[in-house]
């Protein structure tokens, strides 16, 4: 401790500078608050440094390599296509550096102070920040907890050089010849697909009945079919990792499938079975903030915890661990602190997975609507009926619209196919604005584009499709 540690006063303090924290800090500053953000690591958090951004860069590079190797259908062949993975990593790191540098500039431009160190609550209006060689107490009117989450380590698979999590998978020094992925959720499938595109032999072990169980089976089936076509991916469902034997240059993973023990050798085993919220070791027990047994902080519609001046957002609260969810909640929290009536509404929050092809969903699925007794119409239009998809040689997939039967209002949408991550935004906007399928159908979409598939699905929902015989 430092003698003479006189408290520094702040209006609002944000703990964590990831996509939830830095956005909350900027919005709070815009609303006239004196704000500081506390971060023990790099600005941008997991998402920008070892998550969303670097993984998508790696996925993009893998696509480039696979396209160079396999464009014979278009009459294009290439010889001696090589991967310099050191350069791939340098390029990926350059993307990360640009974005994190941009965040630093945005915080500075909005007069948000950045404090390096770890925060620990003394009481509901003060905390202490421990840095590398100093400690300082801060008092505040309001605090926003945005500390994110950490990969879960499972029994028998302790982190090491060869037993890696998503962070390790993004910084490998070479393209592995073989890799085992434990967990067929979105992180495991994205990274597994990326390395499969680089030519790695990938074995996926999923404990559930299906991979990507956060998406409809009809969607994940398209992804599974695409992976099987690659010829270097093997998927085991109802499979449980039992242990790993590690050597200097590889691993042997033992796993059980339907009561039968198997093993597979690989260069690495990537464990992606979920993430645990970073809600411990903050001193929240000192101030009465309610946390459940899974580490989730209880919050209300304005991201307020059980302590009225303490807010929490992102991976430490209920809901999917999505960067855009954290950013959204951060803005709501900042506005609530400023007295605005902002409230969280999750209906139109999209979820995206960057597999081959991409998956995206927003709003209700048919099953969710049925469970709530909502009578709906379902319209599904295939990519194969779209001119742009044909010209891209990407005809796998569909756009599915879920609309209320009584008035045609769109309440859900699911997409599997090329650029699903981009197309979903139009449909999310339509749900947010309470638009009907007729509104979508009557919107003139540029031709030829993949966005036309949404229009075609809307026309199908109305009963008069143009490019499909009903």
DSSP string, 16-63: --STTHHHHHHHHHHTT--EEEEESS-TTHHHHHHSHHHHHHHHHHHH
Q: What is the predicted pLDDT for the residue at 365? A: 97
Q: What is the predicted pLDDT for the residue at 1? A: 41
Q: What is the predicted pLDDT for the residue at 47? A: 96
Q: What is the predicted pLDDT for the residue at 44? A: 97
Q: What is the predicted pLDDT for the residue at 284? A: 96
Q: What is the predicted pLDDT for the residue at 263? A: 97
**Residue 166 structure tokens:** 């998503």
Q: Are strands 359-363 and 410-416 parallel, antiparallel or unpaired?
A: antiparallel
Cβ 311 vs Cβ 304: under 8 Å: yes
Q: How many CB atoms lie within 10 A of CB 469?
A: 4
Q: What is the predicted pLDDT for the residue at 132? A: 86
189 marked among binding-site residues:
yes
What are the distances in angstroms from CA 112 to CA 35, 80, 101, 232?
Answer: 5, 50, 15, 48
396 marked among binding-site residues:
no
Show pLDDT as tens, one digit a residue, over the chain (470 residues): 444 468 999 999 999 999 999 999 999 999 999 999 999 999 999 999 999 999 999 999 999 999 999 999 999 999 999 999 999 999 999 999 999 999 999 999 999 999 999 999 999 999 999 998 889 999 999 999 999 999 999 999 999 999 999 999 999 999 999 999 999 999 999 999 999 999 999 999 999 999 999 999 999 999 999 999 999 999 999 999 999 999 999 999 999 998 999 999 999 999 999 999 999 999 999 899 999 999 999 999 999 999 999 999 999 999 999 999 999 999 999 999 999 999 999 999 999 999 999 999 999 999 999 999 999 999 999 999 999 999 999 999 999 999 999 999 999 999 999 999 999 999 999 999 999 999 999 999 999 999 999 999 999 999 999 999 98
Which pTM does this prediction carry? 0.95
18 marked among binding-site residues:
no
Q: Which domains are present in the chain?
A: 8-151+276-337 (3.50.50.60), 163-273 (3.50.50.60), 357-462 (3.30.390.30)
Q: Are strands 351-353 and 359-363 parallel, antiparallel or unpaired?
A: antiparallel
Active site residues: 447
377 marked among binding-site residues:
no
342 marked among binding-site residues:
no
Q: What is the predicted pLDDT for the residue at 470? A: 80
């Amino acid at each position: 401790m430092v003698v003479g540690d006189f408290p520094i006063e702040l209006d609002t303090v944000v703990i964590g500078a990831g996509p939830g924290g830095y956005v909350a800090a900027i919005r709070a500053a815009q609303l006239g608050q004196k704000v500081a953000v506390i971060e023990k690591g790099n600005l941008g958090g997991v998402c920008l440094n070892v998550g969303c951004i670097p993984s998508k860069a790696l996925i993009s590079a893998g696509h480039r390599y696979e396209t160079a190797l396999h464009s014979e259908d278009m009459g294009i062949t290439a010889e001696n296509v090589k991967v310099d993975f050191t350069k791939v990593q340098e390029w990926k790191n350059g993307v990360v550096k640009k974005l994190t540098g941009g965040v630093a500039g945005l915080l500075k431009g909005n007069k948000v102070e950045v404090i390096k160190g770890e925060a620990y609550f003394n009481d509901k209006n003060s905390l202490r920040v421990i840095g590398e060689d100093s400690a300082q107490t801060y008092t505040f009117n309001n605090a926003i907890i945005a500390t994110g989450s950490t990969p879960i380590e499972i029994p028998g698979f302790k982190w090491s050089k060869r037993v890696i999590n998503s962070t390790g998978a993004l910084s490998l020094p070479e393209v592995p010849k073989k890799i085992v992925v434990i967990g067929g959720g979105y992180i495991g499938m994205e990274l597994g697909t990326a390395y499969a595109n680089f030519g790695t032999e990938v074995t996926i072990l999923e404990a559930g009945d299906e991979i990507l169980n956060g998406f409809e089976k009809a969607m994940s089936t398209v992804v599974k079919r695409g992976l099987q076509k690659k010829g270097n991916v093997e998927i085991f469902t109802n499979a449980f990792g039992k242990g790993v034997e590690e050597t200097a240059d590889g691993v042997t993973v033992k796993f059980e499938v339907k009561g039968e023990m198997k093993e597979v050798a690989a260069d690495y085993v990537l464990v992606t079975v979920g993430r645990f919220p970073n809600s411990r070791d903050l001193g929240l027990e000192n101030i009465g903030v309610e946390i459940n047994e899974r580490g989730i902080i209880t919050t209300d519609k304005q991201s307020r915890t059980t302590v009225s001046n303490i807010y929490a957002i992102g991976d430490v609260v209920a809901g999917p661990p999505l960067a855009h969810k954290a950013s959204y909640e951060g803005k709501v929290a900042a506005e609530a602190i400023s007295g605005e009536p902002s409230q969280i509404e999750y209906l139109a929050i999209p979820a995206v997975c960057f597999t081959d092809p991409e998956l995206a969903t927003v709003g209700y699925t048919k099953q969710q609507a049925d469970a709530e007794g909502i009578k709906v119409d379902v319209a599904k239009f295939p990519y194969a009926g779209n001119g742009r998809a044909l010209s891209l040689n990407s005809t796998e997939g569909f756009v599915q619209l879920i609309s209320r039967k009584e008035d045609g209002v769109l309440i859900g949408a699911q997409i599997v196919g090329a650029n699903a991550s981009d197309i979903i935004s139009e449909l999310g906007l339509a749900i947010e604005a309470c638009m009907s399928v007729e509104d979508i159908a009557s919107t003139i979409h540029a031709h030829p584009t993949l966005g036309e598939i949404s229009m075609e699905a809307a026309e199908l929902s109305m009963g008069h499709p143009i490019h499909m015989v009903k």
